[in-house]
Structure 1
Amino acid sequence: MTTDVMNTSTFSENISVDNEKDETIDNLIEEQKQEVESEKYQFDVIVIGSGPGGYTSAIRCAQYGKSVAIIERDLIGGHAVNWGCIPLNSMMTSARLIRSIHESTRYGINITSHRIDFSHITRHRDEAVKKIRSQIKFFLNKYHIQVYIGTASIIDKNHIIIKPIQKYTYANVYDTDGRSPYESDDSSIPIRTEIEITGQHIIVASGVEYELPKFVEINDKRTVDPTQLLWHRNIPESLIIIGGGVLGCELASLYGHLNSNIILIEKNSRLLKFMDEQVSIAVETRLKEIGVEIILNANIEQVSNGKVIVQLRPTNTNRTVSASYVVVCTGRKPTFNYENLEKLGIAIDYERSTIIINEQTCQTSIPTIYACGGIVSSCWSWVPCAIRQGHLAANAICKIESDINENNRKLYTANNPAIPFVINVIPAVASVGEIPKLTNDVLIYIFKFQSNRRAIIDNQTWGFIKMWTTCDEPKRFLAVQLVHEFAAEIIEYYSMIISLSK
């Protein structure tokens, strides 16, 4: 009988070889996992900000086959959709109906009484915001755009670190039903740990935010920014608005029609100083008709607990006014730290507080980084300009050629003069083009709606159109500004005319 004796050294060698094979396989599997994990965070385009410029550029890049990630520190849609013009305009719809009720007797309809139900006004506002936000999310999902909810920091020309959100911008805001908009927004889940992502191109569309000036006390609960005012659950009995620019005039018109007692304070000699003087006077006239008190040439000395001390120029006398709330509409600031961007090599225009870009491509001084929206534009037409700039950035990244020639080259720039904008006061104000310096080569035409047949039929004769044209034939439209109930609709025609002018 023969007994086989196993060689222990050979057995050990076999085990060692098998272990080495297993380790090699494990290493390969781990490397493959890391490669897959790494690919998850690599994109053709990374967009910072999901506002009009951000989601427009992201969707357009995805439509042309690019892999896209979008980073948002708040709610999808950005400030304009969630906290700015969309909620304001939806509430302004109610204000216009109130105005129509007051004027209904002119049409043979006698409405003896009406009651303002502010809870229904705000519910309409909330529903409008949610529907528009849902539409944006639908298209982001349709084009497989990866959404990250967090705060973005640009490391270099291709890398971004996303950190978890410490605090939402308006964490103390609640809708009509007492719910936080963040809690009811279940489709945008914030990241929980810090991650790094890579992109061949980066588009900065982080937008702007309200800036409270130094004269406002930090813990003053009766001094608010426009968003905090819009999300207030009740109509303020009285209101002081600091700033007679676009937002200040819009809020004065809105809450004036909601029967608040309004005081509007402006440091300049007239409202809407950047607009034509006749337009400013028209807006001032209509605000006074609804009971708004306007204080011009006023410096703010102190704001505290609903009281404002103003110094009146040129008399240098002080006056104290008080109200339930003070809303500050004196300006906005970029959400990005410009000093950090400058360290990366991005050129900054500190005088205008904007990023310097190529007007045709929205490219910054770093070739792989683009910028659009409020962070680059000082024009008042923020949303239309942001959308246009988003298209330009996406076209440049995807190498889509626009139909540009020397005659219309300026119309394909980031600050297109043919992009109109509307100021949502009642009646509305609209503008398109750049008002030229008055020379012998410029003609001015003024058309009053009193002589327009349709305006007479509709009883909408209040207002005018002011036009600036060239003297040469055929005349070219340079700029148009108007005041009328249907200004938003009318201005589109003049925008088209200016676009087609050679």
Structure 2
Amino acid sequence: MPESYDLTVIGAGPGGYVAAIRAAQLGMNVCIIEKDKPGGICLNWGCIPTKALLESAHLLEKLHSAKEYGINLSDPKPDFAAIIRRSRNVAEGMASGVEFLLNKNKITRKKGTAVFKDPNTIWLPDSSKEEITSKYFILATGARARELPDLPFDSHTVLSSKTAMIQDKIPESLLIVGAGAIGVEFADFYSTMGTKVTLVEMMDQILPVEDKEISTFLEKSFVKRGIRVLTGVGVSDPKIVNGKVKVLLKGKNLPEAVESFEAEKILVSIGLVPNTDSMHLEEIGIFLQKGFVKTDTKYKTSVPHIYAIGDCNGPPLLAHVASMEGIKAVEAISIHAGNPHHLSYIPIDYNAIPGCTYCHPEVASIGFTEKKQLTWVIRSAWVNFHLLPAGEPKPWEIPEVLQK
């Protein structure tokens, strides 16, 4: 007989494990299914370990300027293997913490990939083969890195954000395609390690979701540090030749319309693909749009007892958003099931979500930026405030600060 639960959560990332814990707190009998370590991409291969890498890079930069602080040091050099090892240890420690929380809340854990047999039943074909039925399901399957056409990831020359953080040596040169948060953060890290970095973005600015002058501010900082930044430039005809990557760069901002370019490695950070393509979702009646699960304002899918949260239901693709959506989805389920805890449903205000890119200088925004405001009929005024003349940045030797 299949095991049966009040709620089964598929995916133990920042949305899934938070949803499972909230459901257990509300008295539900909960099962969570994860094919890898708990914590998802953010904790194991994204937000957390990349911040550990960037902190090592930031410290190295500080050590290079130690004399400005009155400290004499010989030439500091990175121990790349130790930097990678520290990053992995940080992630593994956090994953252990999530395991502890799941066990503490008496949540049943299953390892494997879930596939729907019918709207009320899933099975785990790649592990135990067991079947599970549930009154409610939450899809929290996340997303994965998108590949360049005709250039699949190979972990050595063609890197995803995951494999970029576990390389065994510092590459001499690195082409980064895509200058969103992931591309910008890795450009910062590898440049500080000593790699010759070229950052390519097909839009007209790096960090395309940020306001133009913020992106320009960061670009100038990167260029000063020796990072080549190319905006309005696309990549075509990628190939691996003698262990290196060769591409054609095309764009109006190049000295010539087309440039042949070679690098030791390429990091592709051109967006994410939702992990919804192997679960038989459409076969059981769940509507997808470009692979993302369509939901209503309470995260309910087109199948009333199945909900979807986090990256698999579309932007904004942020870990803290997934966590809050997990809480809200569980509370919506509890209310739907008779509201025994007398909950009131308060929707998330998606206009007040903070975002941060942890490069140096860091970039953060919250609420209505000018770029977001342009999509609304709102009268507004904007002021840029350079904090360099103020006293606060000086003790830290921060070269320039821009606040908008």
Normalising by structure 2, we get a TM-score of 0.90
Does the Cα contact within 8 Å between 1:452 and 1:461 map onto a contact in 2? no
Secondary structure of the corresponding residue to residue 381 of structure 2: strand
User: Cα deviations across residues 102-121 of structure 1 (Å, max 9, x unaligned)?
Assistant: 33333222323212111211
Q: Does 1:332 align with 2:294?
A: no
User: Cα deviations across residues 170-218 of structure 1 (Å, max 9, x unaligned)?
Assistant: xxxxxxxxxxxxxxxxxxxxx4x31110110000000000121213157
Report the equivalent of 1:279: 214
Change in 2 beyond 3 A, CA 1:368/1:249:
same
Q: Does 1:393 align with 2:329?
A: yes
CA distance in 2, matches of 1:401, 1:261: 58
User: Cα deviations across residues 351-406 of structure 1 (Å, max 9, x unaligned)?
Assistant: xx4222222x21112210011010113115x10110110010111122356666xx
The CA deviation at 1:314 is 7.0
Secondary structure of the corresponding residue to residue 119 of structure 1: helix
Select 1:77's aligned residue among 33, 36, 39: 39
Structure 1 stretches (4+) deviating beyond 6 angstroms? none
CA distance in 1, matches of 2:207, 2:332: 35
The CA deviation at 1:317 is 2.6
Report the equivalent of 1:65: 27
User: Cα deviations across residues 391-444 of structure 1 (Å, max 9, x unaligned)?
Assistant: 10111122356666xxxx6xx32x622221111111111111133128772121
Does the Cα contact within 8 Å between 2:230 and 2:253 map onto a contact in 1? no
- Bigger Cα displacement from structure 2, 291-300 vs 219-228: 219-228
Q: Does 1:429 align with 2:387?
A: no
Secondary structure of the corresponding residue to residue 94 of structure 1: helix
The CA deviation at 1:124 is 0.9
User: Cα deviations across residues 218-269 of structure 1 (Å, max 9, x unaligned)?
Assistant: 7695212121121111111111111111111111011011111111111122
Report the equivalent of 2:296: 358
Q: Does 1:458 align with 2:396?
A: yes
Secondary structure of the corresponding residue to residue 61 of structure 2: helix
Q: Does 1:104 align with 2:66?
A: yes
CA distance in 1, matches of 2:142, 2:85: 27
Change in 2 beyond 3 A, CA 1:201/1:277:
same
Question: Aligned ranges for residues 105-124 of structure 1 at < 5 Å?
Answer: 105-124=67-86
Q: Does 1:303 align with 2:238?
A: yes
Q: Give aligned-pair identity as a percent.
A: 28
CA distance in 1, matches of 2:278, 2:253: 37
Report the equivalent of 1:240: 175
Secondary structure of the corresponding residue to residue 47 of structure 1: strand
Unaligned runs of 5+ in 2: 336-340
Number of residue-to-residue matches in the alignment = 390
Change in 2 beyond 3 A, CA 1:100/1:145:
same
Question: Aligned ranges for residues 468-479 of structure 1 at < 5 Å?
Answer: none
For 2:11, the aligned partner's letter is G
Does the Cα contact within 8 Å between 1:151 and 1:162 map onto a contact in 2? yes
Q: Does 1:48 align with 2:48?
A: no
For 2:390, the aligned partner's letter is N
- Bigger Cα displacement from structure 2, 42-51 vs 224-233: 224-233
Secondary structure of the corresponding residue to residue 259 of structure 2: strand
Does the Cα contact within 8 Å between 2:115 and 2:280 map onto a contact in 1? no
Change in 2 beyond 3 A, CA 1:220/1:402:
closer
CA distance in 2, matches of 1:153, 1:89: 33
CA distance in 2, matches of 1:440, 1:229: 41
CA distance in 2, matches of 1:82, 1:103: 32
Change in 2 beyond 3 A, CA 1:194/1:290:
same
CA distance in 2, matches of 1:65, 1:309: 57
Secondary structure of the corresponding residue to residue 200 of structure 1: strand
- Root mean square deviation of aligned Cα: 2.2
Question: Aligned ranges for residues 164-183 of structure 1 at < 5 Å?
Answer: 164=126
User: Cα deviations across residues 137-162 of structure 1 (Å, max 9, x unaligned)?
Assistant: 00111111111111101233321111
Unaligned runs of 5+ in 1: 1-36, 165-190, 467-502
Secondary structure of the corresponding residue to residue 352 of structure 2: coil
Question: Aligned ranges for residues 3-402 of structure 1 at < 5 Å?
Answer: 38=2, 41-164=3-126, 191=127, 193-216=128-151, 221-305=156-240, 306-313=245-252, 317-337=257-277, 340-350=280-290, 353-359=291-297, 361-380=298-317, 382-399=318-335
The higher-RCO structure (CA 8 Å, 6+ apart) is 2
Change in 2 beyond 3 A, CA 1:221/1:233:
closer
Secondary structure of the corresponding residue to residue 268 of structure 1: coil
Does the Cα contact within 8 Å between 1:449 and 1:462 map onto a contact in 2? yes
Larger radius of gyration: 1
User: Cα deviations across residues 43-67 of structure 1 (Å, max 9, x unaligned)?
Assistant: 0100000000000000110111111
- Bigger Cα displacement from structure 2, 241-250 vs 394-403: 394-403
Does the Cα contact within 8 Å between 1:91 and 1:125 map onto a contact in 2? yes
CA distance in 1, matches of 2:239, 2:361: 33
Change in 2 beyond 3 A, CA 1:63/1:278:
same
Change in 2 beyond 3 A, CA 1:138/1:314:
closer
User: Cα deviations across residues 44-103 of structure 1 (Å, max 9, x unaligned)?
Assistant: 100000000000000110111111111112222111111112111111110110121233
CA distance in 1, matches of 2:279, 2:253: 38
CA distance in 1, matches of 2:159, 2:6: 41
Does the Cα contact within 8 Å between 1:235 and 1:260 map onto a contact in 2? yes
Change in 2 beyond 3 A, CA 1:197/1:424:
same
CA distance in 1, matches of 2:89, 2:83: 10
